[in-house]
Amino acid sequence: MKTIYDVQQFLKRFGTIIYVGDRLGDLELMKAELQELRHTEIIEKQEFDMAAFLLNQEIQRLKEK
């Protein structure tokens, strides 16, 4: 995974499509979904870490605007 789009496609593999019309809200919901997938051990730690890193980076960028 290298982009937020990659994270979206990754989540789509698990039947998760998130779109609320607010970029920051979308990112926060994707992060919550990732945490739930990791908590239930559906995804590997490495996948979670990379996706969470990308989401946190984008969330931080948007909050700095």
pLDDT in tens, the chain (65 residues): 999 999 999 999 999 999 999 999 999 999 999 999 999 999 999 999 999 999 999 999 999 98
In the prediction, which pLDDT does 44 show? 97
The Cα–Cα gap between 20 and 38 comes to 23
Helix (H, G, I), strand (E, B) or coil at 40: coil
43 contacts 50 by C-beta, under 8 angstroms? no
Residue 33, token pair as written in the block: 């979904």
The domain that holds 56 is classified in CATH as: 1.10.287.760
Number of domains making up the chain? 1
Residue 37 domain boundaries: 4-64
What's the pLDDT at 18? 95
pLDDT at 65: 81
pTM reported for the whole predicted model = 0.92
